[in-house]
Structure 1
Amino acid sequence: MTPSTTHKPGLLALSLAAIGVVYGDIGTSPLYAFREAMHAAGASHGGVRVEDVLGVLSLITWSLMIIVTFKYVALLMRADNQGEGGTLSLLALAERSLGGRRPLVLAMGLFGAALFYGDAALTPAVSVLSAVEGLSLVTTAFDPYILPISMAIIVGLFLVQARGTEAVARFFGPITLVWFLVIGLGGTMQIVAEPRVLEALNPWAAVQFLAGNGKLGLIVLGAVFLAVTGAEALYADMGHFGRKPIQLAWIFVALPALLLNYYGQGALVLADPAAMENPFFRVFPETLLLPVVILATAATIIASQAVISGAFSLTRQAIQLRLLPRMRIRHTSDAQEGQIFMPAVNQMLLVAVLVLVVTFGSSSALASAYGIAVTGTMVVTATLAMIVAHKHWGLSKTLAVALFAPLLALDLVFFGANLLKLFEGGWLPLGLAMLVVIVMTSWIKGTGVVLGKEAQGEMSLEKLIRHLGAKPLPQVPGTAVFLTSDPDYAPAALLHSLKHFKVLHEQNVILTIRTADIPRVAAEDRVQMVDLAPGFRQVTLTWGYAEEPDVPEGLALCRKLGWKFDIMSTSFILSRRSLRLSSRREIPAWMARLFILMARNSAPASDYFRIPAGRVVELGTQVNV
């Protein structure tokens, strides 16, 4: 068997899976993108101008070609952090190439990640609503139930998250592939009947439309951007499938199907302006309406699933990078490490989505809020990529700017166009993003204050060991593991244990857990161990920011280095902070209160690091913030 024949099945299988997970979001954009852009251009059921249709289609075409195909598929997917993509991966890569954390770069990364949460709340709301609204074309009897049906689907979607996506994911690829084939075929039938719509392939039609419409052109551009929402998923999900499967799925399946459907909608409204009511569903014969509505609903659920899973992954990365407090994480698959469930994130997203559906009531109203979240993320991505191209790829500053500045300028134009919808709902994702940024900033600053306060009462580990060598304490059998963030200083739990119990275990392990600025760390690089003195050893365990720390599993690797680790004879002695509001604060009172609230509700270290509860002893310490 040749190498090529052994490689192809795996590549095709990954490409099929990528179609389901990666392209679910952008694949459902035809449900509303063309309609909203034409409405912005002034089209109505009674009248549609040929130049508007061609201009809008040309804008959609070249947005897909420049932003998705060139920027993301061809260019940005090469800016990977050991195969991982996404805003926080790019942030980690930029910080590493700059030699440390820079406030401005961190601020951009935080804002980009925060905007993704806005996208994660908006995608299920607008996608599910737009699909269910198709029922009103089958029969008007469904009109009063559009909202309740949408809410029931959304609640069901979030309830099944706890079961994991492994079983459902098997159907994602095939269903989404059928979806792309159906929408491509529906569009092709209309193009054959009205071939003049293909004139929109000429980019001059887009230039003429923008030049001839002034501010209206910018408003339309904001709606056109709905066609490329979901492009960030290509980059964010790169670690799950790899670069090549995602590229193949886009070039040979997703892009042709999307273009055929958009052009089919344009051909239809040229032939029948009354179809502007809902051009996506009107592309299909009436006999196929109900099956297409059902298929569209399934496709939107898949699109929503992808962005919800993305929110879980992003949150785990943020926790590992110490941007958010620890939260409970459950693995839902033994085979796929990346499939996780986070109850707190799931609950908050569900509430946000339901509030959006009830508040806005229709997909058209929600569409105004949708673009700002995605365009803002794209601006951040292009800026960070410029830094990575210069510092990490080694391109000259001139070449890096020449490569990414035009793309950044285009993203800024789209962002500006979407800002025109600020008071029509666009404020919402910006407001959500600012809340997330405030939460992250409060956690970063509050953690800094606490670590600074604890450092004031610290004793160097070397000094403590010398002191214990000069004045030995009684020993008890077994091993004690003390967690510390700074291996040069004695852990607070060890000092409190000595102060209160005045005994020492036979074996004492000073354990530090590190998060690398790469997504995954190989098992052979996981552990470092140093013997400090008789009865004292220092262990450092390192995980990547896309991994979940498992302390017992990590310590088991120490057996190869000579320590016979036995969890049943080991006690993990942890320090549990009790935080109080100080009268002399280094941060504003509201920020201190928010930090204390988050700290009190964060997952215990024993849960987060997967330490068996029966082996944990906690000693309380009080810190003023």
Structure 2
Amino acid sequence: MSQSNQADHKSVAGLILGAIGVVYGDIGTSPLYTLKECFNPEHGLQLTPANVLGILSLVFWALILIVSFKYVMVIMRADNRGEGGILALMALALRKQGRRRGQFSIFIVLGIAGAALFYGDGMITPAISVLSAVEGLELASTKVHPFILPIAIAVLVGLFMMQAHGTAAVGKLFGPIMVLWFLVLAILGVVNILHDPTILAAINPVYAIRFFLDHHYAAFLALGSVVLAITGGEAIYADMGHFGRRPIRLGWFAFVLPALLINYFGQGALLLHDASARVNPFYHMAPDWALVPLVILATAATVIASQAVISGAFSITAQAIQLGYCPRMDIQHTSDKEIGQIYLPGINWALLVSVIVLVLGFRSSNNLAAAYGIAVTGTMVITTALAYIVLVHGDGWKRYAMWLILTALLIIELAFFASNAMKFFDGGWFPLLIGIAAFVLMTTWKTGRRLLFHRLHDGEMPLESFVDAIEASPPHKVEGTAIFMTGSADTVPHALLHNLKHNKVLHENVMFLTIQSTDIPVVGKKDRLQIKQLSPTFWQVVATYGFNEEPSVPEIIEQCLQETSMPLDMMTTSFFLSRETIVDGKTPAMSWLRRRLFATMQRNAARPTDYFKIPPNRVVEMGTQVEI
């Protein structure tokens, strides 16, 4: 084998290991609570061989159809220049379909709704995962019960406090720990399957069909628990940009999926012969001497699973900021090598408070399971709906085949969603409440920024005619360069007009800088800047960033110096920004509540100097009031 081939294999192996450590954490910890919840006595499902085989058959085919087929094989084809996730898919659908009236708004609503539900998932996953792992201690001693919640909260607090230090150092341990976790899942499963290999008959979908024919409504309700086996499927698509399709697919089919299926069948074999194991079938699979080490390993696995969801919340917030659906926030990079490793303090502490409230409010993983499914299935349905636009194209049988495939998947997912909707009053209201709140915040910010943009630039002077007039009759000039940050590349910024009105001077050189985002993840350097010299002393620069990038004014200036003869010296350059104060207009364009909400978000947004990395000692802010 050549050295280049060896290097390629090592690279793929490293990516597979990384994917196992990050991508599959959520779905990999589902065996802790899925069958326990399916046979929870409160649900009234009897522990009979037919029911065990029926539930296992449903779990098996859910993993095959929804995760393996839909996400790993189909949805991963809908990549936005290598990136995945609900907002990346929304941006891709918008670009594919164009700005057709009505459809454009539908795609945006679906994308924002999916992103909003993700925050509900991001709160519940750490709570249910860590709680279900720590609850295993109760099997060792009932005296531990009063300490379950304090231990779980302590683990969660430690997890969220760790975020500020980044995952670069700990990330190297994630892959090996999760490999060990999946190996243990498989070993426990094999040992129990050997006691009764007949459990493997559940692979036959006839058992799932018989289960529905026998139980009807009860079987429909059971889908709300079966769906717990596929939570985390969305992460496979969302993390595609970090690892690529091939490593994720290889890791899933060659290692993760077999380990999960073997463990589920092992739990089923145990339940056939030990009815008492229904209290916690996962931990009952292990011998007594292995219980405490298994709890420790499970807790480590759930921390890793939670880490992936928390990092996903950071990433989706950063994307929302760039796409204009979220106010600027403090974004800290925790690695000088990996751009995707970021930390958002505001999101981190909000998630921690929400997770602790969840743990104290629901008090057990069984109670949390009722709240879990709605957010997960809702996001699944939205992903499939957006995939229609991206994947159903072309002519002939391929177009109709993809349409039929997505329609069949959508019907299955709607059944899962409807089953979970029945748990609304048992906790399902929580992720919906979080989703609605996030949806209102994101749409209010987007609408408010659009109205603000129109109010600011309504009636403004055209830029080029203004420059011609100034050059024909220049005011008093001072040394240095002035950079005016503006959202419009065609009109004169308010900050410049205020500066001329009050100071009656202009710098020797003036740059109008507009920073805009686009619906692709990363913009190449050659496409980053559009530079135009408007006159001997006026320049216009438009910088474009993808939704996975962060704008940097120093980088823009450095590239300008490389590509032009623009007279720029940071020591003699001043940045002029407008700071808007929202006031009520005579004919309000938004409701009173949304105006108050938008004004609050505007006031608390991160300062432009921090977000755009502008040297704060070089900034002049010009205030203005805007009616909305």
TM-score, normalised by the number of residues in structure 1: 0.97
Question: Which residue is equivalent to 1:83?
Answer: 82
Which amino acid is the alignment partner of residue 350 of structure 1? Answer: L
Task: Give secondary structure in 2 for the equivalent of 1:514.
Answer: strand
**How far apart are 1:564 and its partner, in Å?**
4.8
Mapped contact 1:19–1:176 kept (Cα < 8 A): yes
Question: Which residue is equivalent to 2:153?
Answer: 151
Which amino acid is the alignment partner of residue 123 of structure 1? Answer: T
Whole-Å Cα distance in 2 between the matches of residues 110 and 511 of structure 1? 29
Whole-Å Cα distance in 2 between the matches of residues 186 and 43 of structure 1? 27
Question: Which residue is equivalent to 1:574?
Answer: 577
Instruction: Call closer, same or farther: CA 1:342–1:246 in 2, change over 3 Å.
Output: same
Question: Which residue is equivalent to 1:138?
Answer: 140
Question: Which residue is equivalent to 2:604?
Answer: 601
Question: Which residue is equivalent to 2:430?
Answer: 428
RMSD: 1.6
Which amino acid is the alignment partner of residue 301 of structure 2? Answer: A
1:97-116 equivalences under 5 Å are: 97-100=96-99, 102-116=104-118
Question: Which residue is equivalent to 2:549?
Answer: 547
Question: Which residue is equivalent to 1:251?
Answer: 253
**How far apart are 1:446 and its partner, in Å?**
1.1
Question: Which residue is equivalent to 2:342?
Answer: 340
Mapped contact 2:367–2:427 kept (Cα < 8 A): yes
Whole-Å Cα distance in 2 between the matches of residues 612 and 528 of structure 1? 23
Instruction: Call closer, same or farther: CA 1:374–1:84 in 2, change over 3 Å.
Output: same
Question: Which residue is equivalent to 1:187?
Answer: 189
**How far apart are 1:358 and its partner, in Å?**
0.6
Which amino acid is the alignment partner of residue 23 of structure 1? Answer: Y
Whole-Å Cα distance in 2 between the matches of residues 398 and 278 of structure 1? 45
Which amino acid is the alignment partner of residue 606 of structure 1? Answer: T
1:615 aligns with 2:614: no
Which amino acid is the alignment partner of residue 513 of structure 2? Answer: L
Instruction: Call closer, same or farther: CA 1:40–1:249 in 2, change over 3 Å.
Output: farther
Mapped contact 1:98–1:391 kept (Cα < 8 A): no
Question: Which residue is equivalent to 2:593?
Answer: 590
**How far apart are 1:218 and its partner, in Å?**
0.8
The number of aligned residues is 623
Which amino acid is the alignment partner of residue 94 of structure 1? Answer: A
Which amino acid is the alignment partner of residue 187 of structure 2? Answer: L
**How far apart are 1:560 and its partner, in Å?**
2.4
Mapped contact 1:191–1:264 kept (Cα < 8 A): yes
Whole-Å Cα distance in 2 between the matches of residues 549 and 399 of structure 1? 42
Point out the more displaced range, 208-217 or 388-397.
388-397
Mapped contact 1:482–1:494 kept (Cα < 8 A): yes
Mapped contact 1:124–1:301 kept (Cα < 8 A): yes
Whole-Å Cα distance in 1 between the matches of residues 560 and 474 of structure 2? 27
Which amino acid is the alignment partner of residue 114 of structure 2? Answer: G
Whole-Å Cα distance in 2 between the matches of residues 394 and 590 of structure 1? 51
Whole-Å Cα distance in 2 between the matches of residues 295 and 76 of structure 1? 32
Question: Which residue is equivalent to 2:27?
Answer: 26
Instruction: Call closer, same or farther: CA 1:437–1:394 in 2, change over 3 Å.
Output: farther
Task: Give secondary structure in 2 for the equivalent of 1:475.
Answer: strand
Point out the more displaced range, 420-429 or 114-123.
420-429
Instruction: Call closer, same or farther: CA 1:378–1:394 in 2, change over 3 Å.
Output: farther
Unmatched segments (≥5 aa) in structure 1: none
Whole-Å Cα distance in 2 between the matches of residues 75 and 118 of structure 1? 25
Question: Which residue is equivalent to 2:292?
Answer: 290
Task: Give secondary structure in 1 for the equivalent of 2:39.
Answer: helix
**How far apart are 1:396 and its partner, in Å?**
7.3
Question: Which residue is equivalent to 1:557?
Answer: 559
Question: Which residue is equivalent to 2:327?
Answer: 325
User: 1:215-274 CA distances to partner (integer Å, 9 max, x unpaired)?
Assistant: 101111110000000000000011111111111111111101100110010111111111
Question: Which residue is equivalent to 1:15?
Answer: 16
**How far apart are 1:390 and its partner, in Å?**
3.1
1:504-543 equivalences under 5 Å are: 504-543=506-545
Task: Give secondary structure in 1 for the equivalent of 2:534.
Answer: strand
Unmatched segments (≥5 aa) in structure 2: none
Identify which of 119, 123, 126 aligns with 2:125. Answer: 123
**How far apart are 1:41 and its partner, in Å?**
9.0
1:132-281 equivalences under 5 Å are: 132-281=134-283
**How far apart are 1:456 and its partner, in Å?**
2.2
Question: Which residue is equivalent to 2:413?
Answer: 411
Whole-Å Cα distance in 2 between the matches of residues 463 and 266 of structure 1? 77
Mapped contact 1:581–1:593 kept (Cα < 8 A): no
Question: How high is the sequence identity, in percent, across the aligned residues?
Answer: 50
User: 1:323-377 CA distances to partner (integer Å, 9 max, x unpaired)?
Assistant: 1111110000001000000011011111111111010000000000000000000
Task: Give secondary structure in 1 for the equivalent of 2:579.
Answer: strand
Mapped contact 2:40–2:279 kept (Cα < 8 A): no
Which amino acid is the alignment partner of residue 432 of structure 2? Answer: L
Mapped contact 2:199–2:269 kept (Cα < 8 A): yes
**How far apart are 1:143 and its partner, in Å?**
0.7
**How far apart are 1:105 and its partner, in Å?**
0.9
Question: Which residue is equivalent to 1:49?
Answer: 48
User: 1:261-302 CA distances to partner (integer Å, 9 max, x unpaired)?
Assistant: 100101111111111111000001000000000000000000
Task: Give secondary structure in 2 for the equivalent of 1:611.
Answer: coil
**How far apart are 1:558 and its partner, in Å?**
1.1
1:488 aligns with 2:490: yes
Instruction: Call closer, same or farther: CA 1:436–1:16 in 2, change over 3 Å.
Output: same
Which amino acid is the alignment partner of residue 614 of structure 1? Answer: N
**How far apart are 1:565 and its partner, in Å?**
3.4
1:39 aligns with 2:32: no
Question: Which residue is equivalent to 1:72?
Answer: 71
Mapped contact 2:509–2:567 kept (Cα < 8 A): no
User: 1:435-491 CA distances to partner (integer Å, 9 max, x unpaired)?
Assistant: 011111111111122112112241110121122123211111111111111100011
Task: Give secondary structure in 1 for the equivalent of 2:420.
Answer: helix
Whole-Å Cα distance in 1 between the matches of residues 395 and 254 of structure 2? 29
List structure 1 segments (4+ residues) > 6 angstroms apart after TM superposition.
392-396
Mapped contact 2:453–2:487 kept (Cα < 8 A): no
Which amino acid is the alignment partner of residue 213 of structure 1? Answer: H
**How far apart are 1:163 and its partner, in Å?**
0.7
Question: Which residue is equivalent to 2:441?
Answer: 439
User: 1:387-412 CA distances to partner (integer Å, 9 max, x unpaired)?
Assistant: 11135999976444223111111111
Whole-Å Cα distance in 1 between the matches of residues 525 and 401 of structure 2? 38
Instruction: Call closer, same or farther: CA 1:58–1:395 in 2, change over 3 Å.
Output: same
Whole-Å Cα distance in 1 between the matches of residues 312 and 106 of structure 2? 25
Task: Give secondary structure in 2 for the equivalent of 1:533.
Answer: coil
Whole-Å Cα distance in 1 between the matches of residues 12 and 473 of structure 2? 65
User: 1:518-572 CA distances to partner (integer Å, 9 max, x unpaired)?
Assistant: 1011122211211011100111111110111111112211122222533222111
Instruction: Call closer, same or farther: CA 1:462–1:623 in 2, change over 3 Å.
Output: same
Mapped contact 1:115–1:376 kept (Cα < 8 A): yes
Which amino acid is the alignment partner of residue 600 of structure 2? Answer: L
Point out the more displaced range, 153-162 or 579-588.
579-588
Whole-Å Cα distance in 2 between the matches of residues 463 and 394 of structure 1? 53
Instruction: Call closer, same or farther: CA 1:42–1:354 in 2, change over 3 Å.
Output: closer
Whole-Å Cα distance in 1 between the matches of residues 402 and 583 of structure 2? 48
**How far apart are 1:38 and its partner, in Å?**
2.0
Mapped contact 1:41–1:216 kept (Cα < 8 A): no
Task: Give secondary structure in 2 for the equivalent of 1:521.
Answer: coil
Mapped contact 1:43–1:49 kept (Cα < 8 A): no
**How far apart are 1:2 and its partner, in Å?**
4.6
**How far apart are 1:583 and its partner, in Å?**
4.3
Task: Give secondary structure in 2 for the equivalent of 1:384.
Answer: helix
Question: Which residue is equivalent to 1:365?
Answer: 367
Question: Which residue is equivalent to 1:376?
Answer: 378
Point out the more displaced range, 558-567 or 117-126.
558-567
Mapped contact 2:332–2:342 kept (Cα < 8 A): yes
**How far apart are 1:580 and its partner, in Å?**
1.9
Point out the more displaced range, 577-586 or 13-22.
577-586
Mapped contact 1:332–1:339 kept (Cα < 8 A): yes
